[in-house]
Amino acid sequence: MITSEKCLQQFKEEYSFRLTDGTLLRYIIAMEQLIDFCNKSIYEIDSKDIRRWMSSLDNKAYKAVTVKTKLAGIKLFFKYCVEDGFLVKNPAINIPFPKVEDKSPIYLQKGDLLQLRQLVKGKLEERAVIEVLYASGVRIKELTEIKREDINWPERMIIIPNGKRKKERIVLFTQECAEHLKSYLNERDDELPFVFVNTSKTGSMCTRTIQKKFKYYSNKLNIHLTPHTLRHTFAAHLAMKGMPLECIQILLGHNGPHQTQLYARLYHEARKAIYDQLM
């Protein structure tokens, strides 16, 4: 019988090629928190322990979506333990996920997008970041990992090699995006492979840097605005132009049922907005 720590390490190694680094880290932290809370080994933890731990998170005012993510990690870990023969029974298998209120994704109207572009006028790097996020619909982490070699300029395509769940996909970008991206890259004097680099020009741009910029934009324009808002805006504006939902989801790299429901709602709201304007 191996130790809980050794089992966690093997789980980490097993799923390092299936999950993103961030997701895997959150799952490992969740398991470590559960073990510390119960003060038991993984072989002794039962469903009552997990329920008590979840109640403690609720008492500490953890958001339902955070608890849901933690429980997903717990379930996956114990599933792995059963499949690999460390455990006979999965103590988390029958524990339901907490209910999370599904809010329709917020997206920018054309006027809001215009204001954002005006706000960063003359700032080549910031405008390039905004245009790539909006034109391609990539996630912020995917944006920071794009390399020059991933861009196909003639076809206006970008290869996203390590998207969510480590799945490769191709995204497109507009001629307007291409022009701003080229202007930014032509101004660069470094040889780094990344499309967007940090201020010290030693590596890729930090997601936190982009998030701080968007918080500034949000406060300045007095609108809800995050990097992910542009991903929603990308989807909504394509819906307004008549692109089928299935095609939009392929570009977004979505295949989970929750994301399907979320973007289906956004899709129909965006289409209805166009209908209301026409009528």
User: What pLDDT, in 10s, does the model give residues 146-195?
Assistant: 999 999 999 999 999 865 555 678 999 999 999 999 999 999 999 999 99
Q: Are residues 146 and 215 in the same domain?
A: yes
Res. 95: pLDDT tops 50: yes
In a domain, 25, yes or no: yes
Q: Are residues 115 and 212 in the same domain?
A: yes
What interhelical angle do 4-15 and 64-83 show, nearest 10? Answer: 100
Q: In this predicted model, what pLDDT tens digit does every residue of 126-151 receive, in sequence order?
A: 999 999 999 999 999 999 999 999 99
Q: In this predicted model, what pLDDT tens digit does every residue of 114-129 receive, in sequence order?
A: 999 999 999 999 999 9
Longest dimension (CA), the chain: 69
CA distance 243 to 241: 6
In a domain, 150, yes or no: yes
The pTM for the full model equals 0.68
Dihedral sign from CA coordinates of 56, 58, 61, 62: positive
Question: What is the token pair recorded at 104?
Answer: 């329709």
**Higher per-residue pLDDT: 118 or 253:** 118
Say how many C-beta atoms besides its own lie within 10 A of residue 8's C-beta: 19
In a domain, 92, yes or no: no
pLDDT of residue 279: 41
- What's the average model confidence in pLDDT over 78-100? 91
Q: Are residues 48 and 138 in the same domain?
A: no
Parallel, antiparallel, or unpaired for β 157-160 and 169-172?
Answer: antiparallel
CATH of the domain at 78: 1.10.150.130
DSSP state, residue 161: T
Q: Are residues 52 and 141 in the same domain?
A: no
Question: What is the token pair recorded at 139?
Answer: 């996630």
CA distance 208 to 211: 5
**CA angle 270–272–273, rounded 5-degree value:** 65
Q: How confident is the model at residue 23 (pLDDT cuts 50, 70, 90)?
A: confident
In a domain, 91, yes or no: no
CATH of the domain at 217: 1.10.443.10
CA distance 245 to 73: 29
Domain holding 27, by residue range, is 4-83
36-45, 82-91, 97-106: least confidently modelled range: 97-106
Q: How confident is the model at residue 105 (pLDDT cuts 50, 70, 90)?
A: confident
Question: What letter represents residue 195's amino acid?
Answer: V
Q: Which residue is listed with tokens 């959150």?
A: 26
- Express the helix, strand and coil content of the chain in percent, nearest 5 each: 60, 5, 35
Instruction: Provide the domain count of the chain.
Output: 2
Percent residues over pLDDT 70 in the chain: 90
- What's the average model confidence in pLDDT over 59-79? 92
In a domain, 104, yes or no: no
Print burial letters for 74-89: b (CB count within 10 Å at least 16), e (below 16). Answer: bbbbbebbeeeebbee
In a domain, 100, yes or no: no
In a domain, 97, yes or no: no
**CA angle 242–246–132, rounded 5-degree value:** 75
pLDDT of residue 151: 96
